[in-house]
Structure 1
Amino acid sequence: MSVKLNEKLLESLQVAIQQQNNRFIQETLKDKHAADISVLLDQMDALESKYILRLLNPEMSADIVADLEEDTRKGFLKNFSSEELAGLMDYTDSDDAADILNDQPVKVREEVIALMQNSEKAEYIIDLLHYEEDCAGGLMAKELIKANINWNIKQCIEEIRRQTKNVEKVYTVYVVNDKDTLLGRVSLKKIVLSTDDTKIKDIYVSNIQTVQTYYSEEEVAEIMRKYDLEVVPVVNVQGKLLGRITIDDVVDVITEQAELERQIMSGLSETAEVDDSIWTLSRARLPWLIIGMMGGLLGAQYMGFFENELKIVPAIAFFVPLIQATGGNVGIQSSTIVVQTLVGNPFDGKSLGSRLFKVLLVAIFNGIVISSLVFGFVMIFNEMNMAFVVAVALFNVVLIASLTGTITPLILDRLGVNPALASGPFITTANDLIGLAVYFTVAKLLFSI
């Protein structure tokens, strides 16, 4: 979590738990945000965390449990009986409750739902458990405020008062017909400014963005980003209003997706956390490490073909690291920019020509600058021919690496493969081999060896 851990506060709370100083704990935490408390509990053992939760009000406890890191929460809730867990779920938002119970064994899940006092919340959770976690149905919360299109403002306000006890944040009021089909929305501002006898149908907005339950979480995030939405309603194929997805849920999705992309681009084949087992961490890293190793072996083998040339002009070997490092860096830069551009944007063949032309111009400019600097530096310590070979090779490597780093993720995206795979070790290894080929070919031609 991004909230900074207060080490002194953590230590004082642990001492208070040992001394059973309940008053100190309650006074210390009464004005704290649930997210801040969850950071503290992440660093405590399960029994300490449970001790603190028992001293807080149910609503706060539910929010804290929902904010806990997933691995911490799983271990923590093992110490809860079905009755205690049911008490927490009564005060937890339906989407968070479904996520929490989805991690529990089926038997425990059924017991908890059966023991919940809030029967409406229990029904919400049962409904949400039918959806996959990574789709709109799995992201949505059932709690929302809706009003019938035939109501007037007075009826609408009365309904808002009735429904808000179950809705933590009210963004808008959804307008439905007698069959709960979503027709539009009406803002709280319009409701407040309208007279009691004003009809909802006269002030509501019908043109709204919606998502269906089967939409992927990435599609939901893109829609909310594109239209700058704080909340988006979820409907089924018949248009019936089922729930809503709020911006905080989408922020979590974006964060997780960014973390996944970072790990893939750094050469991890699957998501991995610091606290994972040695086997899990190794399994995530080894595939791309092996590919990188094979690329290095191929590079060494390729250099072996030029053994005689290296004997004649040993200085050629001095600049191999420069060629490889420059090619890898340029390729990584190009592929990273393309991957970021492709996030949420489908492949557009019409823009490929202009994109490649722009990349080519940038590569030519960068190649001229870098090769000129290197030419001047090499001239100080070597003869003209060596400086010319390195500069020409470096210019071509920059050019080829830029195009490779741009085209590869575009092709992968076109084939339906995650374009982030084109970054990191893949591009580095490919450009190492290409760079060596270009360098030694130029050296052989210009030195006539």
Structure 2
Amino acid sequence: MEFKVSKELIAELEKHIAEKNDKELAVLMNDMHHADIAEILDELDFEDATYIFKVLDSDQTAEILLELEDDLRENILSRLSPKEIAEELDELDTNDAADIIAELSQEIKAEVINELMDVEHAKDIVDLLRYDENSAGGLMGKELVKVNENWNVLTCVKEMRIQAENVSRVHSIYVVDDENRLKGRLSLKDLLTTSTKTQISDIYIRKLNFVNVDTDDVEVARIMQKYDLEAIPVVDELGRLVGRITIDDIVDVIKEEADKDYQMAAGITQDIETNDSIVELIRARLPWLLIGFVIEIIASFVLKDNERAFEKYTTLIIFVPLLSATAGNIGVQASAIVVQGLANGTLKEFSSNYFSKEITVSMVSGTIISLLLLVYHSLMYQQYLVGFAISISMIVVILFAATLGTLVPLFLHKNKIDPAIATGPFITTSNDVFGIMLYFWVAKLILGF
């Protein structure tokens, strides 16, 4: 059953905190998962959350740190000494420890690193800090199991036992040469069913997926998703094995990318959270609103230039909102599918086959909508030529919206701009202006006003 924070639990915790009853607090939270404890701490005020954090053991609180909201983690860390922070980091994998250290000030960062008990652990963390956080190097951990291709099976097993002590989960056994260059991977089944005198070079699997330290994190996620990998090795510029990325790290990348795309599609220009300040929220949301405002002003001029048409054919103005909404929906649908294809790798560049398919779908959809509109207009107003003009205009505008929704994300992607920006206000506001212009242009050709 999924854990949920209750008012009764919060009240009980606050009671123990007020009474300084550390023993009861520890007993109450001893069997809880670290993610559940983090959820509880996020519900408490900073003082109470920090109090509970200091009551718990470092092997428990280290994992909790990773699950906390950014502002609470920052607040708790600010109340810990460099030695206390180092004790937490000694319990974490190198990549998780590096992520937390990266959030500290330069002064505190140096003090914390000096306080780390395990020198090798400290060296690995420092090494990870030099990589961009959005690269494979910034995602990887140093904990892995590797064997030399020149060892035999017996030596390999002995060395693996030593290495596995520092690895929480062994997803793969990697094979390297004397220069630490990645050569392949070792099957556990082959290792267990082969003579102890057999050379590793005779049984290891040479074909495996890997990424470079500079590979973008989103690309790493795409590769792991495509090949259904639980972990992937990372090599440097010389092909040397320097770390591995596990699926739990990639889940975070996928979530962050999805959040960013969702916000961008909604016209939000930067990453925000519900607990951000009013100023930050306004700064993220106002730019697209202003752009939309300007574009809609332009659309109003188009309407003004066709005032005479409204006087003669009054129903033209009635269907402008319907036209804008339909074109906007068609454009957003088309762009959303393209952006999805670019994200999961099923669409890498312009495809005439896909473009033809999208235009066909839009043509059929537009024809059905236009026929319904023609029937409705004819029954309601008995102005058959005007109804015909509006219906034909609808088809033209829908085809334009589909074309724009398909090509714009591809153009943005080709020019290294996040195509998710094309799935929201960009498409809808563009369709408003160009759609209305096309609407009156087609109507004018048919009605001659």
TM-score normalised over the length of structure 2: 0.94
CA distance in 2, matches of 1:183, 1:223: 19
Q: Is the 8 A contact 1:347 1:413 kept in 2?
A: no
Partner of 1:393: 393
Q: Is the 8 A contact 1:98 1:129 kept in 2?
A: yes
AA aligned to 1:25 is L
Partner of 1:360: 359
What value does the CA root-mean-square deviation take over the aligned residues? 2.1
Q: 1:46-195 maps to which residues of 2 (within 5 A)?
A: 46-195=46-195
Summarize the Cα distance change of 1:262–1:330 in structure 2 as closer, same or farther, 3 Å threshold.
same
Unaligned 5+ segments in structure 2 are: none
Q: Which moved more, 1:35-44 or 1:109-118?
A: 35-44
CA distance in 2, matches of 1:6, 1:340: 38
CA distance in 1, matches of 2:187, 2:33: 28
Q: Is the 8 A contact 1:94 1:143 kept in 2?
A: yes
**Which whole-Å deviations, capped at 9, do the CAs of 1:10-32 have from their partners, x for residues lacking one?**
34323322233333333332222
**Which whole-Å deviations, capped at 9, do the CAs of 1:307-353 have from their partners, x for residues lacking one?**
1221222222211110111111110110111111112549756x522
AA aligned to 1:34 is H
CA distance in 1, matches of 2:416, 2:54: 49
SS in 2 for 1:143: coil
Q: Is the 8 A contact 1:3 1:35 kept in 2?
A: no
SS in 2 for 1:270: coil
Q: Is the 8 A contact 2:94 2:143 kept in 1?
A: yes
Q: Is the 8 A contact 1:144 1:167 kept in 2?
A: yes
SS in 1 for 2:427: helix
Q: Is the 8 A contact 1:211 1:235 kept in 2?
A: yes
Summarize the Cα distance change of 1:143–1:330 in structure 2 as closer, same or farther, 3 Å threshold.
same
CA distance in 1, matches of 2:155, 2:17: 50
Summarize the Cα distance change of 1:151–1:103 in structure 2 as closer, same or farther, 3 Å threshold.
same
Q: Is the 8 A contact 1:212 1:235 kept in 2?
A: yes
CA distance in 1, matches of 2:390, 2:75: 58
Q: Is the 8 A contact 2:25 2:52 kept in 1?
A: yes
**Which whole-Å deviations, capped at 9, do the CAs of 1:283-312 have from their partners, x for residues lacking one?**
111111111101111111111111122122
Summarize the Cα distance change of 1:45–1:165 in structure 2 as closer, same or farther, 3 Å threshold.
farther
Q: Is the 8 A contact 1:347 1:410 kept in 2?
A: no
AA aligned to 1:29 is M
CA distance in 2, matches of 1:282, 1:3: 34
**Which whole-Å deviations, capped at 9, do the CAs of 1:174-223 have from their partners, x for residues lacking one?**
12233322222113333334444443223221211111111111221122
SS in 1 for 2:284: helix
Partner of 1:328: 328
CA distance in 2, matches of 1:3, 1:427: 41
Q: Is the 8 A contact 2:185 2:206 kept in 1?
A: yes
- Report how far residue 48 of structure 1 moved: 2.2
Partner of 1:237: 237
Q: Which moved more, 1:374-383 or 1:417-426?
A: 374-383
CA distance in 2, matches of 1:311, 1:115: 81
SS in 2 for 1:54: helix
- Report how far residue 5 of structure 1 moved: 4.3
**Which whole-Å deviations, capped at 9, do the CAs of 1:382-402 have from their partners, x for residues lacking one?**
122343233222122111111
CA distance in 2, matches of 1:203, 1:49: 53
Q: Is the 8 A contact 2:83 2:112 kept in 1?
A: yes
AA aligned to 1:381 is M
Partner of 2:314: 314
CA distance in 1, matches of 2:95, 2:36: 21
**Which whole-Å deviations, capped at 9, do the CAs of 1:385-443 have from their partners, x for residues lacking one?**
34323322212211111111111111222222221222211110111112211222233
CA distance in 1, matches of 2:186, 2:6: 43
Summarize the Cα distance change of 1:387–1:4 in structure 2 as closer, same or farther, 3 Å threshold.
farther
CA distance in 1, matches of 2:54, 2:391: 70
Report how many aligned residue pairs link the two structures.
447
Q: Is the 8 A contact 1:3 1:39 kept in 2?
A: no
CA distance in 2, matches of 1:12, 1:161: 45
Unaligned 5+ segments in structure 1 are: none
CA distance in 1, matches of 2:185, 2:201: 10
Q: Which moved more, 1:323-332 or 1:2-11?
A: 2-11
**Which whole-Å deviations, capped at 9, do the CAs of 1:348-383 have from their partners, x for residues lacking one?**
56x522122111111111011111222222333212
Summarize the Cα distance change of 1:84–1:233 in structure 2 as closer, same or farther, 3 Å threshold.
same
Summarize the Cα distance change of 1:71–1:191 in structure 2 as closer, same or farther, 3 Å threshold.
farther
Q: Which moved more, 1:334-343 or 1:14-23?
A: 14-23
- Report how far residue 92 of structure 1 moved: 1.1
Matched, 1:265 2:279: no
Q: 1:361-440 maps to which residues of 2 (within 5 A)?
A: 361-383=360-382, 384-440=384-440
SS in 1 for 2:297: helix
CA distance in 2, matches of 1:243, 1:48: 38
Q: Which moved more, 1:287-296 or 1:161-170?
A: 161-170
CA distance in 1, matches of 2:3, 2:404: 40
Summarize the Cα distance change of 1:15–1:264 in structure 2 as closer, same or farther, 3 Å threshold.
same
Q: 1:8-47 maps to which residues of 2 (within 5 A)?
A: 8-47=8-47
SS in 2 for 1:401: helix
Summarize the Cα distance change of 1:6–1:120 in structure 2 as closer, same or farther, 3 Å threshold.
farther
Summarize the Cα distance change of 1:271–1:19 in structure 2 as closer, same or farther, 3 Å threshold.
same
Q: Is the 8 A contact 2:338 2:347 kept in 1?
A: no
TM-score normalised over the length of structure 1: 0.94
CA distance in 2, matches of 1:188, 1:69: 39
Q: Is the 8 A contact 2:265 2:424 kept in 1?
A: yes
AA aligned to 1:304 is K
Q: Is the 8 A contact 1:25 1:52 kept in 2?
A: yes
CA distance in 2, matches of 1:299, 1:81: 59
Summarize the Cα distance change of 1:348–1:220 in structure 2 as closer, same or farther, 3 Å threshold.
closer
Summarize the Cα distance change of 1:365–1:4 in structure 2 as closer, same or farther, 3 Å threshold.
farther
- Report how far residue 99 of structure 1 moved: 0.8
CA distance in 2, matches of 1:263, 1:11: 36
Q: Which moved more, 1:288-297 or 1:433-442?
A: 433-442
SS in 2 for 1:244: strand
- Report how far residue 267 of structure 1 moved: 0.7
Summarize the Cα distance change of 1:127–1:403 in structure 2 as closer, same or farther, 3 Å threshold.
same
